[in-house]
Chains A and B, each alone.
Chain A
Amino acid sequence: MYEFEFEKPSTVAEAVAALADEDAQALGGGQTLIPTLKQRLAMPSKLVSLSSIPQLKELSDNGGMLTIGGAVTHAEVAAAAADSYPALADLASHIGDPAVRNRGTIGGSLANNDPAACYPAAALGSGATIVTSTREITADDYFRGLFETALNEGEIITAVRFPVPEKANYQKFLQPASRFALVGVFVAKYAAGVRVAVTGASEEGVFRWHEAEAALDTSFAPDALDGLSVDAGGMIGDMHGTKEYRAHLVGVMTKRAVAAAG
C-alpha cells in the first residue's frame, strides 16, 4: 500500500469535512478497498473511516420500510432482516464468506457498485432509496454503469431505505473462486408491480429486465417468462462464461427466483 493519512471521525459532518481534502477516500469495511490498495491500484492521500459513526450503524423497521445505515455489515443485515425482509437477509448471508460479511458494509458495496456484487441487485430490485450526506437518490437514478454511481466526490451513503415487498427472492449463480455472482437475479413483487434486477451479467452493471417485469405483472409464475430472453450483445464475456451463457443464465435465474418467491 502507498502511504496515506487515516482519520476516524465520529459524525457524518466530520466525515464530510475530512473527505473534502483532495484525493481523500471513504473507507467502509475495506473488503474491496484494502485489497485494491495493496495492489497499488489506488493512491488516496487519506482514508476516512466510517466505522465509528453511530448514525451509520442504525437499523430500523417502520412497518414495511426497512432502513439500514450505510456502515451496517452484511452479517448484521443477515441477522436483522431475517424476519422483516427474508430475501434481503438471505442475499446478505451469502456475500463473500463469514469473515468478509463481518466487515463489509452495505454502503461500501453500493458505493463501489461492482458489476457482479449482490447488493446492487437488491437495491435496484427493491426500488430502494439511497440516502446520502446531502440528498436522497432513487435506485433507478443511482446506478450509472461499471463502478459508476450518482455519488459525488465526498458524498457518503448514510442509509438505504428498502420498501418491503409482498414476496421476493434472490438467486445467485456463484462464481466459486470470487464468491461474486456470475449472474444474480433479484425479483420482488410489490402492489405497484414486479421488479427484476440483474447483476453480474451486463457490461453496464446492474440493470432492470423490464420485459420480464411486464410478463410477471401479468402472471407471477416461472412459465410467464417462457420465450423471453435478454440480448447477449451487452453481456459480459470472460474466462468464466461467454456472453451467450450469461444471457441464458439471466433467464434461468429469473425463473428460479420467481419459483422460490412462490
Chain B
Amino acid sequence: MAKVSMTVNGKAASGDVEGRTLLSSFLREQLGLTGTHVGCDTSQCGACVVHVDGKAVKACTMLALEAEGAEVATIEGQANADGSLNTIQQAFQDHHGLQCGFCTPGMVMSAAALLKDNPKPTEAEVRDYLEGNLCRCTGYHNIVKAIMAASGQDVSSIAAE
C-alpha cells in the first residue's frame, strides 16, 4: 500500500491505495464520490470521465497513484456554490439531455472540458468531442443540443426534443 494525496473538487483528499487501484475506485470507494460512474471498465464508455489538472480523462483507465498531487474535478464539484445546477447541468435538464442518467456525469464532465477549450463549438465539433462518451438512451441528439445551449448558442434550429 502507498499513500496518495490529491485535491478533489478543491478539497485535500488522501488515502492508502495499492499500485493497481484505479482513480475511479479511489474516488468511489475511498472518497465515497460515487457520481463518477463505471459503465464498461474497458475505457470505451466515458461514464467515468473526470478532470485531472483540467484535462478530461477516463478515471477507470488511470491509476490513483498517477494522480498524486493533481487537481481532480468530479461531477460532485460541478454545481454552483449555492447548490443549484451549473449552466451545463441546467441545459441537460432543460433540453432533456438524459434519460436513465448513467452516462450523464461523464457527459457533463466532457462537455465542461470541451467548452473550456472551445467556448462556441459547432454541432459537428460537439459530436466529435463526445466520441468517447456512450449513451444508450438518448441517441445523443438532446445531449448535443444541451451542450450547444450551454455554450450560449441558439438551438432553436436544431430539431425536435
Contacts and interface: CB of A to CB of B under 8 A. Distances in A.
Interface residues of chain B: helix, strand, loop or mixed (majority): mixed
Contacts of B133: 97
Contact of B66 (A3, A37, A51, A97): A51
A31 B19 contact: no
A98 B131 contact: yes
A99 B18 contact: no
A97 B131 contact: yes
Contact of A6 (B22, B42, B65): B65
B63 A100 contact: no
Interface residues of B, number: 28
B113 A47 contact: no
Which of B43, B129, B132 is most buried by chain A, counting CB atoms within 10 A of its CB? B43
A83 interface: no
A137 B65 CA distance: 32
Contact of A1 (B2, B20, B129): B20
B63 A6 contact: yes
A99 B42 contact: no
Max chain A C-beta neighbours (<10 A), residue from B2, B55, B133: B55
16 contacts: A3-B20, A30-B66, A34-B62, A35-B61, A51-B66, A75-B55, A97-B46, A97-B133, A98-B129, A98-B131, A98-B132, A99-B110, A100-B132, A102-B56, A102-B57, A103-B58
Interface of B: 2, 18-20, 22, 41-43, 46, 49, 52, 55-58, 61-63, 65-66, 68, 110, 113-114, 129, 131-133
Given A3-B19, A47-B19, A98-B132, 18 more contacts: A2-B20, A6-B65, A8-B68, A30-B61, A30-B63, A34-B22, A35-B43, A35-B61, A38-B42, A49-B65, A51-B66, A75-B55, A97-B132, A98-B110, A98-B113, A99-B132, A103-B62, A179-B131
